[in-house]
Amino acid sequence: MTSYRVDQKDLAHFLTKPSMNDQEGIMFAYATDETVLKSLIPAPLKLVAPIIVGYVVDMGKPTFGGPYLEETLYAMVSYQDKLVGAYPFQLLLSGPGAEAGLISGREGASIPKKLADEIVLRRTGNQAVAKVTRHGKVLLDLSWESGAINEKSFMAQFSQMMTLGKPMETNSFFFDYHLQQDDEGKNHFVDVTLLATKMKSVADRLEPGKLTLKLDSTEDDPLGELRVIKPLGAAWYHFKTSTMYQTLKLEKVDDAATAPYLVTGRYDRSLYDPEATSYHF
């Protein structure tokens, strides 16, 4: 029976190796403005290439809640010119398990997650579409068609993102922090620490294809800032398993210098701009 006091034996299973199993949807990549992209990546991370990678997927069997749909856009970055991985700008979630996915990701792994109004992912034959809506606006409108990718020269790099049938290890970079209120009631980002989360995934399906993509923005979600200069390609894929198995604390960073990069992916503008309040029911 549920209680506000959880038994110690249950705590032993709390967010243990969270896995996003039976994950299926569209992965994609496109070229963007290098100057803008560099300006959005906090030190000590460094941009690897002026490319945005993203996905819109159905998380069919997560181990921490019900199924949900998720979208993300991320840059490939490096740490100390050695460790390479993804730096996500935002992840938007929708569906029955979206709240559990948001809480476990944002509180458990410091991932920049928010809830979307709606995410649609639909495949018919050799074509698929995806749309992400928040605050009543379509932020991402994507279509995929099985076959050759947009930029043939990118195919080798595209294929390296997934190795079918074999465990594949990847890294993602996040910033952990605490909010601390001072004597005047102001909250500050403190104890900001760069993390590297290690993932192990097994892909059993990968179908390359052509990408068509449009991005837009709201005052709370500036996806359009990561503008599409040239679509590189997309693929319909399926992960049998995808598990977060280790988080590394890399280094403490400058709190004040990093704080401006931490807000938009996690919170809406109304937290710092009282004139940005929206009224809708």
As given in the structure block, the two tokens for residue 272 are: 């710092």
pTM, to two decimals:
0.93
What is the number of structural domains in the chain? Answer: 1
Helices and strands, counts by H and E, the chain: 5, 11
Which residues touch 25 (CB under 8 Å, ≥6 apart)? 55, 56, 57, 58, 69, 121, 130, 236, 237
Read off the pLDDT of each residue in 191-214 and give the average, rounded to a whole number: 95
pLDDT band per the 50, 70, 90 thresholds, residue 62: confident
Residue type at position 161: M
Question: Does some domain include residue 271?
Answer: no
Note the Cα 257 to chain centre separation in Å.
22
Q: Which domain holds residue 101?
A: 19-167+201-241
Read off the pLDDT of each residue in 202-214 and give the average, rounded to a whole number: 94
As given in the structure block, the two tokens for residue 13 are: 């299973």
| Contact (Cβ atoms closer than 8 angstroms) between residue 164 and residue 122 | no
Q: Is the pLDDT of residue 221 over 60?
A: yes
pLDDT digits (tens, 9 = 90+) for 132-175: 999 999 999 999 999 999 999 888 777 777 778 788 899 999 99
Question: Does some domain include residue 179?
Answer: no
Residue type at position 101: G
The tokens 């990847």 sit on which residue? 170
CATH of the domain at 28: 2.40.400.10
Question: Does some domain include residue 181?
Answer: no
Q: What backbone torsions phi and psi does residue 125 show, to the nearest 5 degrees?
A: 60, -125
pLDDT digits (tens, 9 = 90+) for 95-109: 999 999 899 889 888
Question: Does some domain include residue 88?
Answer: yes
pLDDT digits (tens, 9 = 90+) for 11-39: 888 878 777 888 999 999 999 999 999 99
pLDDT (0 to 100) of residue 279: 62
Q: Is the pLDDT of residue 63 over 70?
A: yes
Question: Does some domain include residue 11?
Answer: no
User: Taking the C-alpha atoms of 253, 30, 267 and 100 in order, what is their torsion angle to the nearest 10 degrees?
Assistant: -100
pLDDT digits (tens, 9 = 90+) for 36-57: 999 999 999 999 999 999 999 9
CA dist 94 to 40, 119, 166, 202, 230, Å? 25, 6, 29, 24, 28
pLDDT digits (tens, 9 = 90+) for 191-201: 999 999 999 99
pLDDT (0 to 100) of residue 182: 94
**Strand, coil or helix: what is 216?**
coil
Question: Does some domain include residue 174?
Answer: no
Rounded to the nearest integer, the mean pLDDT of the chain is 92
Question: Does some domain include residue 44?
Answer: yes
